[in-house]
Amino acid sequence: MEEENKTTDADGSSTPPLVAVIMGSKSDWDTMSAASETLTQFGIAHECRVLSAHRSPTLAAEFAASAESRGLQVIIAGAGGAAHLAGVMAAHTILPVLGVPMKSDALKGMDSLLSTVQMPAGIPVGTLAIGKAGSTNAALLAVAIMANGNSNLREKLRQYRHQLEQKIRETDLS
């Protein structure tokens, strides 16, 4: 995956990432790239990488445990099947963790959804929709979280919503 370990900024320069977009496998990138593209649209420095809760459990735990001290503010974690990546992240950090369930072949993502969303009380994962809509919305939610202390970001979010509305208003079915 080209974007593995990548840190991007609005102007393409390298700055410490504020958001991590992680995924259980390179095969998730087609879905998770939507989160990365959305963060880029908002000029949010972020890193993208593969970490598996099952295939690289130590690496995943180390990543989560060091996330706060590295300056990350939000973690977006996408995984499929027995999707435990977001939960493992949340177990090792108090940063907000947003989970994106992959649309799986076997169960169309219901497996991923339930594995991600059914966290025990005390260790929250904010779970988004299955697939690309969830990936895009995870990034938008990360922006909204960060916008609480950033009026510039708030304005960008307002403009984004305004553009969505304009598209609807201008839709012509004739």
Contact residues for ligand AIR, defined by CB under 6 A: 23-25, 27-28, 52-55, 79-83, 102
* Closer residue to ligand AIR, CB minimum distance, 79 or 128: 79
Q: How many other β-carbons are positioned within 10 Å of the β-carbon of residue 74?
A: 25
CA distances from 61 to 88, 89, 104, 148, 152 (A): 7, 7, 24, 28, 33
Q: How far is the CB of 90 from ligand AIR (least distance, A)?
A: 15
* Closer residue to ligand AIR, CB minimum distance, 80 or 126: 80
* Closer residue to ligand AIR, CB minimum distance, 76 or 143: 76
* Closer residue to ligand AIR, CB minimum distance, 4 or 155: 4
Name the nearest CA neighbour of 128 among 102, 95, 99, 104: 99
Query: Are the beta carbons of 77 and 98 closer than 8 angstroms?
Result: yes
Q: Output phi, psi for 85, to 5 deg.
A: -60, -50
Q: How far is the CB of 38 from ligand AIR (least distance, A)?
A: 19
Amino acid at residue number 99: G
Q: How far is the CB of 163 from ligand AIR (least distance, A)?
A: 31
Q: How far is the CB of 125 from ligand AIR (least distance, A)?
A: 14
